Amino acid sequence: MSLGTKEIREGNLDTRMEYQKKDEFGEVCRDFDEMRAYLKESVDQRLRDEKRRRSLITGISHDLRTPLTSISGYLDGLMDGIADTREKRSRYLQAIKTRTGNLVSLVDSLSEYSRLDNGFRYRMERADFKDFVDQYLGTYRSDAEQNHVEITFLYGKETYPVQIDREEFKRVFDNLFANTVKYRTLEKSNIQISLKRTMEGTDIELVFQDDGPGVPCESLEQIFDSFYRVDDARTQSEKGSGIGLAVVKEIILGHGGKVRAENREGLAMIIHLPITREDIT
């Protein structure tokens, strides 16, 4: 025990208290080891939070700097007379407008993520998830046509009772569709949405699958991290902020659910939501 306390004082929280006898001293050792494990988890969590904070700051700095640098360059071109024709000036102004829109989108995404990450209270109501998805797809129809997206919705005859915040879950679908359109390699997207109850009967499973390029296997668990992009060099920074899927994850966790990604014939997002307790059979 003396050795264990010495190791802890020196910051080594991995040293376990090994004492097998079931006497009073053994009980003290077990209590001490539980305290050590709790302390280690607290320190590890603090380190993870600090790493996440640094990552957020780095991501925000980069994603603000990139469009601002571009805007500054185009403004210099206008002021210095480099854009010396009406066509050039129009092109420069359109580029400035586009990058300003990117900045507004980034700030909106940051605001949404911060709101969810700071104890946001959901307004839950009971709903059949199939009906909710049907209603959402009805409102998304014009956007789907504009973005050249074809959608297939598959479901069974059973009901899908859940507790959801309708407005927040619309953001989940908004971000999933936006992610598909941003990173597709073709001009058109085919998306299949399927819904079923799990074998255990306690959850519903929603699969949102596109026909895009997918992501490397080693990146599948990380794509839901804020500011993470498969391209670490961030050469695709014009396409997105890297926050959309982080918002998706936060909302689903806030509903007591889970989300993961898989490469199938494209990228598949698999979402599990708990069935309302009174409807579990």
CA distance 145 to 135: 16
Shared domain for 192 and 251, answered yes or no, is: yes
Range among 83-87, 130-134, 217-221 with highest mean pLDDT value: 130-134
Shared domain for 181 and 267, answered yes or no, is: yes
First to last CA, the chain: 51
Q: What is the pTM of this model?
A: 0.67
Looking at residue 86, which CATH number applies to its domain? 1.10.287.130
CA distance 148 to 164: 29
Q: Does 172 have pLDDT greater than 60?
A: yes
Shared domain for 95 and 191, answered yes or no, is: no
In a domain, 12, yes or no: yes
- Please tell me the predicted confidence (pLDDT) of residue 170: 92
Shared domain for 131 and 259, answered yes or no, is: yes
Shared domain for 155 and 257, answered yes or no, is: yes
Q: How many domains does the chain have?
A: 3
Tell me the mean pLDDT in the region 124-148: 93
Q: Are strands 189-197 and 258-264 parallel, antiparallel or unpaired?
A: unpaired
Shared domain for 101 and 2, answered yes or no, is: no
Whether the CB-CB separation of 203 and 211 falls below 8 Å is answered with no
163: how many CB neighbours lie within 10 A of its CB? 16
- Please tell me the predicted confidence (pLDDT) of residue 229: 61
Residue ranges making up the domain that contains 24? 1-47
- Please tell me the predicted confidence (pLDDT) of residue 102: 74
Shared domain for 154 and 177, answered yes or no, is: yes
Closest CA relative to residue 271, chosen from 205, 218, 220: 205
Shared domain for 90 and 140, answered yes or no, is: no
Shared domain for 183 and 112, answered yes or no, is: no
Shared domain for 177 and 270, answered yes or no, is: yes
- Per-residue tokens: 31: 């209590």
- CA dist 210 to 107, 133, 238, 242, Å? 27, 16, 21, 18
